[in-house]
Amino acid sequence: MRFLTDLDVERLLPPPARLVELAHDALVALAAGRAEVPAKPAVHPGGLSFANAMPAAYAERNLLGCKWISIFPENQAQGLPTATGLMVVNDGTTGLPRVVMEAAALTAARTAAVSGACIAGLDRVGVTAAVLGAGVQARSHLRVLASLGAPEVTVFARRAAARQALQEWARRETPELAVHTVDSREGAVRGAGVVVTALTIGVSGAQLDPDWFADDALVLPLDYASSIGPDLAASAVLAADHVPQFEAVRATGSLGDYPAAERWTGDLLDGQPRPHGRVVCQNLGNGLSDLVVAAAVADSAEERGAGQLLVTARP
């Protein structure tokens, strides 16, 4: 069994375009019932913090695994990551653990890949995009947007230092993508055909005015209902990557007065015409999307002999 650090995972990740293909496959398979992914159980250690177990089995691809992820919003004030976790990739035939990896880089790449699958599958590649937040998710999404050939993106960040740091990073890492930064959420959202919100989960007072959004906008919240509230969701076709998981979260009140999800995200990507008007995809994260990416990383690690090999004694 191998152990991979986040740095190992970053080096072993497939290119962004391949990540989008993997995410598309996972979303469509999940919607079609071709994989087994239960609604992820949650435990709550206190405050706004919670942790999820995210198991998945995809028999036709011989994939099996589970991610353990914790979200501690209060960590931000201490300079600590708000999301941390581990991913286990098992052999689908024997059940033996193949690889254990840190999950931060995996989660960032998977989340952006799922967004990319939605953008490509719903014919939104050629429109202006907006990203709210200038952290890890902004950077992973810029990589995916660049790989899709998006023309330009506007990123909102409150702090001038964050805007400058992102611009410097983008000039190095995604020079083909025109990246603008603004200090106004409205300024980022107005006129955008794609809106990705990546603020802190659970933050209050950050919900966006529905009037700011284009009538045909594709909205991809990464922060639950922090930015995209029930009023905006009610004005759109509302989809979820895993409808039972979405409904389980909705039942807890974490999404406020959100309406029920009308569609699976994967159904929207399975060769059907794009729905008319706004589309909100509440992709809360599912074990299958993590698993298909993690398995590709595990394959590469084994081929290259990467990571730390852990030898255990078996009877």
Encode pLDDT of 172-221 as tens digits. 999 999 999 999 999 999 999 999 999 887 777 889 999 999 999 999 99
Q: What tens digit of pLDDT does each residue of 79-138 get?
A: 988 889 999 999 999 999 999 999 999 999 999 999 999 999 999 999 999 999 999 999
Residue 113 lies in a domain: no
Selection from 40, 32, 174, 66 nearest residue 112 by Cα: 174
Distance CA 144, CA 51 (A): 27
Residue 182 lies in a domain: yes
- Asked whether the predicted pLDDT for residue 73 surpasses 70, the reply is yes
- One domain, residues 281 and 303: no
Each residue's pLDDT tens digit, 130-168: 999 999 999 999 999 999 999 999 999 999 999 999 999
Residues 143, 238 within the same domain: yes
Kindly report the CATH number assigned to the domain that includes residue 70: 3.30.1780.10
Domain that holds residue 27: 2-106+288-309
β-strand pairing of 42-46 with 152-156: unpaired
On whether residue 114 sits in a domain, the answer given is no
59 pLDDT tier (thresholds 50, 70, 90) = very high
44 and 131 assigned to the same domain: no
Whole-number pLDDT of residue 9: 98
> Do 131 and 267 sit in the same domain of this protein?
yes
pLDDT of 313 higher than 70: no
Mark residue 164 as left, alpha or beta (left: phi above 0; alpha: psi -120 to 50; beta: remaining).
Answer: alpha
Query: Is the same domain home to 97 and 58?
Result: yes
Is the distance from CB of 232 to CB of 201 less than 8 angstroms? no
Query: Going by C-beta distance under 8 Å and a sequence separation of 6 or more, which residues neighbour residue 20?
Result: 113, 116, 117, 120, 144, 147, 148
User: Given pLDDT bands bounded at 50, 70 and 90, which one contains residue 302?
Assistant: very high
* Mean pLDDT, range 3-28, rounded to an integer: 98
At residue 254, the pLDDT reads 85
Helices (H), the chain: 6-12, 16-31, 104-121, 136-148, 160-173, 185-189, 230-234, 243-251, 265-268, 287-304
Angle at 269 (CA atoms; ends 60, 111), nearest 5 degrees: 80
- Is 247 part of any domain? yes
Q: Looking at the predicted structure, is the pLDDT value of residue 315 above 70?
A: no
* 268 and 134 inside one domain: yes
Contact 133, 235 (CB under 8 A): no
Residue 82 sits in the same domain as residue 194 = no
pLDDT, position 83: 83
Task: Report d(CA 283, CA 294) in Å as an integer.
Answer: 18
Q: Indicate whether 241 and 135 sit together in one domain.
A: yes
Which one, of 27, 26, 75, lies nearest residue 51 by Cα?
75
Task: Examine residue 118 and state whether it is found in any structural domain, yes or no.
Answer: no
- Backbone region of residue 90 per phi and psi (left: phi > 0; alpha: psi in -120 to 50; beta: other values): beta
**141 and 45 inside one domain:** no
In a domain, 54, yes or no: yes
The domain total for the chain is 2
pLDDT category of residue 314 using cuts at 50, 70 and 90: low
Q: Based on the domain organization, do 187 and 127 belong to the same domain?
A: yes
Whether 89 and 179 map to the same domain: the answer is no
Do 275 and 305 have their domain in common? no
Residue reference for tokens 């409904």:
247
pLDDT tens digit sequence for 250-283:
998 889 999 999 999 999 998 888 999 999 999 9
- Cα 294–Cα 109–Cα 308 angle in degrees, nearest 5: 45
**Residue 113 bridge partners (DSSP):** none
Asked if residue 173 is part of any domain, the answer here is yes
* Of residues 227, 247, 245, 255, the one with CA closest to residue 289: 245
The CATH number of the domain holding residue 160 is 3.40.50.720
Classify residue 111: in a domain, yes or no.
no
